[in-house]
Amino acid sequence: MATKPTVTIQFKQLATTLIQRSERGTAVLFLADSTVGEEVKTFIYRNVSQVNSDYDNNFYDDETHKTERQKTLKHIKNCFVSAPYEVIVIIAKDYKKLSAFTNPLLAMRKQGWVTAPTDDSPEDITIQTDLASWVESMEKDGLSFKVLGNKSGVDCKHYVYFSQAATSSNGEALTDVEMFPYLVGVLAGCKCTRSVTNYKLGELASCEEVDDIDEAITGGQLVITNDDGGVKIVTGINSLTTLNGNTATEDMQYIETVEAMDLIRDDIRDVFVNTYQGSFKNKYMNQMLFIGSVNEYFDRLAGEDILDSEFNNKAEIDVEAQRSAWMGTGKAEAAEWDDDTVKRRSFKRTVFIAANIKILNCMENLKFTVTME
């Protein structure tokens, strides 16, 4: 049966293997502002000066409702504090329809950190639930969006649950959602250079402590705490709590791990779709060209300390999967083929590739034993 082309890149992990994490840079704000009217407005910013220019010139159509506009502007500027690569702002008159925000976003990007600094109205509460469901569906579709929100019990490696109040450095009381733009800018701004674990939130003077930090983290909550050096993120985790030891592991509970996984998946998928899919015949030599480009990519990631340079990060033809595919068509003799024969017997229109990689993690735990004589 003929079907549309598919690209599936699945991350699995051996229970005995430690694979860790990294980061990227697009922050996305879904903002409700009644002063924009019926039209949904979309902006892409690379720096704060662009925000000021839009606000002064054509961000709004008239001069009324300044309080609401100032709130919108504040959210956007707060997102830039930690210098993400870009901030995408999508503004509708209210939060009644999530599709008013997600449809324009999907037309522009396939990844990014998304948040909605909502109020306490019924539709605002609903949008937080809808966002959690939406990012779970994006995860199933292989798109690398991640959401920061305050919906508990989501259990998803692309959803970060946060629910604490704080006080800003200028004495302003902040709810959890009022901190969303700042925090999503932090999450996006760390890129591949560091973890958000122990990240100092310089815009905050103090925060409301959770009752039990260990219990909250075990439950999949991103926790901040008052520390001698200021308010800090305790450890950079997402809301994933249900593990299976294979496609949902302890390592994948960390934001860094998922960022690196998404980065690698997106880059490999893009080069396959844009360069190889439909352009090259499915034969051994062409498969080796693709594998060669993937392995060069792994080498570059190792040079940037995203992958471990001490580990043999390599992709190769998945011999057993290709052998099984041939056997599934009735070729029982495939069971007796040696590995080289299997590699050279490409299977119809499908390329079977397997890779073994080790993603580097930042230093987090310390076990130091001192023996005194």
Crossing angle, helix 180-189 and helix 66-79, to 10 degrees? 30
Nearest to 74 by CA among 158, 170, 150, 148: 170
**pLDDT tens across 291-346, in order?**
999 999 999 899 888 999 999 999 999 999 999 999 999 999 999 999 999 999 99
pLDDT at residue 185 greater than cutoff 50:
yes
Q: Return the CA Rg of the chain.
A: 23
Residue 244: count other Cβ atoms within 10 Å of its Cβ: 10
Look at residue 346 in the predicted model and tell me its pLDDT: 96
Give the pTM.
0.89
Whether the Cβ atoms of residue 181 and residue 117 lie closer than 8 Å to each other: yes
339 and 295 fall within a common domain: yes
Q: Which two tokens stand for residue 20?
A: 């860790």
285 and 206 fall within a common domain: no
Strand, helix or coil for residue 70: helix
Which residues, other chains included, contact 324 with Cβ-Cβ below 8 Å and sequence gap of 6+? none
Whether the Cβ atoms of residue 132 and residue 210 lie closer than 8 Å to each other: no
**Mean pLDDT rounded to a whole number for the chain:** 89
122 and 174 fall within a common domain: yes
Diameter of the chain measured on Cα atoms: 78
**pLDDT tens across 211-246, in order?**
999 999 999 999 999 998 899 999 999 999 999 999
66 and 204 fall within a common domain: yes
Position 146 in a domain: yes
Look at residue 49 in the predicted model and tell me its pLDDT: 81
Look at residue 59 in the predicted model and tell me its pLDDT: 54
158 and 275 fall within a common domain: no
Q: Which domain holds residue 217?
A: 26-189+197-233
**pLDDT tens across 93-133, in order?**
999 999 999 999 999 999 999 999 998 777 788 999 999 99
Position 248 in a domain: no
203 and 97 fall within a common domain: yes
**pLDDT tens across 24-60, in order?**
689 999 999 888 888 899 999 998 888 876 655 555 5
120 and 33 fall within a common domain: yes
Position 126 in a domain: yes
Position 245 in a domain: no
264 and 227 fall within a common domain: no
Helix locations, 8-65, DSSP H: 48-57
Round to whole Å and give the CA distance between 249 and 257: 10
pLDDT at residue 19 greater than cutoff 50:
no
Rounded alpha-carbon distances, angstroms, from residue 136 to 156, 245, 312: 7, 20, 32
> What pLDDT band is residue 10 in, cutting at 50, 70 and 90?
low
Position 321 in a domain: yes
Position 35 in a domain: yes
135 and 202 fall within a common domain: yes
Round to whole Å and give the CA distance between 48 and 31: 17
Looking at the chain, the whole-number percentage of residues with pLDDT higher than 70 is 89
Round to whole Å and give the CA distance between 351 and 179: 45
273 and 139 fall within a common domain: no
> What pLDDT band is residue 200 in, cutting at 50, 70 and 90?
very high
Round to whole Å and give the CA distance between 313 and 264: 12
Whether the Cβ atoms of residue 159 and residue 147 lie closer than 8 Å to each other: yes
Position 15 in a domain: no
223 and 125 fall within a common domain: yes
Give the least confident one: 72-81, 96-105, 191-200, 269-278. 191-200
Position 323 in a domain: yes
**Domains contained in the chain, number:** 2
Round to whole Å and give the CA distance between 50 and 52: 5
pLDDT at residue 3 greater than cutoff 60:
no
> What pLDDT band is residue 14 in, cutting at 50, 70 and 90?
very low
* Length reported for the chain: 373
Residue 110: count other Cβ atoms within 10 Å of its Cβ: 17
221 and 261 fall within a common domain: no
